[in-house]
A = this chain, B = another copy of it.
Amino acid sequence: MPGGFHNRVLRINLTTGDISVEEPGEEFFRTYLGGWGMIAHYLLKELPRDADPFGPENLLIFAAGVLTGAPAGGSGRNAVGAKSPLTGGFGESDMGGYWGAELKRAGWDAIIITGKAEKPTYIWIKDGAVELRDAGHLWGCETLEVERTLRSELEEPRLRVAQCGPAGERLARMACIIGDATRAAGRTGLGAVMGSKNLKAVVVRGTSGVEVADKEAVRKIAKWLSDNVRNLWTAGMQDFGTSGGLQYLSTIGGLPTRNFQEGSFEGAEKITGSTMADTILIANDTCYACPVRCKRKVEVKDRFPVTPEYGGPEYETLGAFGSVCGIDDLEAIAYANQLCNAYGLDTISTGMTIAWAMECFERGLLTLEDTDGLELHFGNAEAMLALVKAIVQRKGFGDVLAEGALRAARFIGRDTERYVVHVKGQEFPMHEPRVKFALNLGYIISPTGADHMHNMHDTSFTQSIEGVRSLGILEPLPADYLGPEKVRLFKYEVDWQVFWNCVGLCMFMPYSKLQIRDLVSAVTGWDVSLFELEKVGERALALARVFNAREGFTPADDAPHWRISTPFESGPTAGVKVPAEAMREALLLYYDMCSWDRNTGAPIPAKLHELGVGWAIQ
């Protein structure tokens, strides 16, 4: 028997209360490996065209990967997907922690939720038993309170909760899904889809192990990781979390600052990972089976009380509430992080939406009248925190911002849309394309809009040519280059990283690609090749592009942001921009490399056939 999956997909219709089990079969799991690919499959097959993301017909899919729950580091992740209320296209985001592994331990590979519950509801899964339960008493509650209440009322101290938080209940389009009160499937507004279905939480307790095909082989890989965490770059992740490089990025001009107007932040040192380690950090946290322990637990007592139970800010959060808002107050950022984890907001979109408002305010496009009297200058931490709260409460200006920066700008008008730094309506994450050129291409072509979860190759590549040699890329390429060799590397790496989002693997693992192949084989028992795994990623990306084309996206939506083609005015990268013409050429070259139709933006039929998904031809 192959391992890594149960061949059990839980189907729940919240309108009718119907609960059923689907067994898609081994071929299905080998074709997609779970996660993103599985989500794209079901969205294309079952969601009617032009469906309202907030309508009952939207599918909300929690999909583990074949690695999720395997006893080896990096396997604590699962994907969540739906038609995105933020972009109107393919919505997908991944979270770490323990929830996904618990789902697998309960005997499930995925949950597909349709319909809309009449009243607030939560799903309670204990191994094979599945119940829909009233969530009236949880509605409006902060995530930690929900966790505590559920643990108590279900008498299961070890259950795991994925929930939408008050922001999702109120359909904030940057609402996320929070797991373990500390992790987030952050992007594309999936928490609001949950809220739209009156679904407060998916609560899981699994008491079985996750079967793997070759225990000894998995154990060996896990041991290799434990033995080497301190010898590899993961040591830095352990010591300083994801924000260990924040200050360095500022030094080289690559730290998004003041709504991407600048690349260096004068307050970077105050919010970087080592400063956090020296001040508010009280402990490391980790995800399922992972010895890297890159997660943070921070505590702040006085001004902004922050409890370690809500974890601590990631690099993305430190950027989005810090440098991007011109704020160097680490405690305020930690507090904003806590608010987001408590209320279910994506820290990236939230910070970026506030930063947009700040830029508009400074440019005189927003007035105190618009902002409910808040002095929205860059650097105003109090105003930033007030807006986070207002977004959750959907009060005044917060109600406007809760729609995301693009919709807010369109609501307000006055040329404010110019300053929304986004692709497809999703705000940029904290990575500066003017330092890593190919990231811009990544933001543009991603079916989820500006997204860093499948486009990060520039960094890893400049760190190590070794990481890509097994794909046949033999020469290092500079980060500020966008020629054909880079586009090739980019294509291979994007497909590879989308594969991660299928299989449920964390990008912060120091495994080589061939070790990852070994891990997938050890877990599943399938003798997979890197060729097959690359194709899994390419397939998943292709299906998401088909989905977007079906929903009305065209190549015009793969547009670079003007700001990235505008040089920095100051700092170490003054004058640097991603040249618009080079960008255009790279984009077309990438289209051709992917066999994406230049007219529709979707893969041509032959590509879908080549990926074994000819059924997806529209």
Closest Cβ–Cβ distance, residue A461 to chain B (whole Å): 15
Residue A224 interfacial (CB < 8 Å): no
Residue A532 interfacial (CB < 8 Å): yes
Query: With the chains together, A575 CA to B470 CA distance in Å?
Result: 48
Cβ-defined partner of A531 (8 Å) among B27, B472, B474, B607: B472
Cβ-defined partner of A609 (8 Å) among B484, B529, B533: B484
Cβ-defined partner of A595 (8 Å) among B475, B487, B533, B592: B592
Cβ-defined partner of A517 (8 Å) among B529, B591, B614: B529
Q: Which chain A residues in 449-508 approach chain B with CB under 8 Å?
A: 469-475, 484-485, 487-488, 491-492
Cβ-defined partner of A472 (8 Å) among B471, B492, B532, B609: B532
Which chain B residues lie closer than 8 Å to A469 at the CB level?
Answer: 526-527
Q: Which chain A residues in 172-205 approach chain B with CB under 8 Å?
A: none
Residue A604 interfacial (CB < 8 Å): yes
Residue A536 interfacial (CB < 8 Å): yes
Which chain B residues lie closer than 8 Å to A31 at the CB level?
Answer: 472, 474
In the complex the two chains form, is B531's CB within 8 Å of A471's CB? yes
Query: With the chains together, A592 CA to B594 CA distance in Å?
Result: 11
Which chain B residues lie closer than 8 Å to A607 at the CB level?
Answer: 592-593
Residue A577 interfacial (CB < 8 Å): no
In the complex the two chains form, is A612's CB within 8 Å of B472's CB? yes
Q: Which residue of B lies closest to A539 (CB)?
A: B472
Query: With the chains together, A614 CA to B473 CA distance in Å?
Result: 14
Residue A535 interfacial (CB < 8 Å): yes
Query: With the chains together, A484 CA to B606 CA distance in Å?
Result: 8
Residue A144 interfacial (CB < 8 Å): no
Query: With the chains together, A2 CA to B610 CA distance in Å?
Result: 34
Q: Which chain A residues in 1-58 approach chain B with CB under 8 Å?
A: 27, 30-31
- Binary contact readout A575-618 vs B (1 if CB under 8 angstroms, 0 otherwise): 00000000000000101110100000000111101101010000
Residue A119 interfacial (CB < 8 Å): no
- Most chain-B Cβ atoms within 10 A of its Cβ — which of A471, A528, A530? A530
Query: With the chains together, A530 CA to B528 CA distance in Å?
Result: 10
Closest Cβ–Cβ distance, residue A600 to chain B (whole Å): 15
Which chain B residues lie closer than 8 Å to A609 at the CB level?
Answer: 484-485, 487-488, 589, 593
In the complex the two chains form, is B527's CB within 8 Å of A529's CB? no
In the complex the two chains form, is A527's CB within 8 Å of B27's CB? no
Closest Cβ–Cβ distance, residue A464 to chain B (whole Å): 13
Closest Cβ–Cβ distance, residue A132 to chain B (whole Å): 35
Query: With the chains together, A607 CA to B475 CA distance in Å?
Result: 19
Q: Which residue of B lies closest to A27 (CB)?
A: B474
Closest Cβ–Cβ distance, residue A473 to chain B (whole Å): 8
Residue A513 interfacial (CB < 8 Å): yes
Cβ-defined partner of A470 (8 Å) among B475, B492, B529: B529
Closest Cβ–Cβ distance, residue A221 to chain B (whole Å): 16
Cβ-defined partner of A529 (8 Å) among B30, B514, B535, B610: B514
Cβ-defined partner of A513 (8 Å) among B470, B512, B529, B591: B529
Residue A102 interfacial (CB < 8 Å): no
Instruction: Using A530-B530, A595-B595 as known contacts, list a sample of 4 further A-B pairs with CB atoms less than 8 Å apart, ordered by residue number in A.
Output: A471-B531, A589-B605, A589-B609, A592-B605
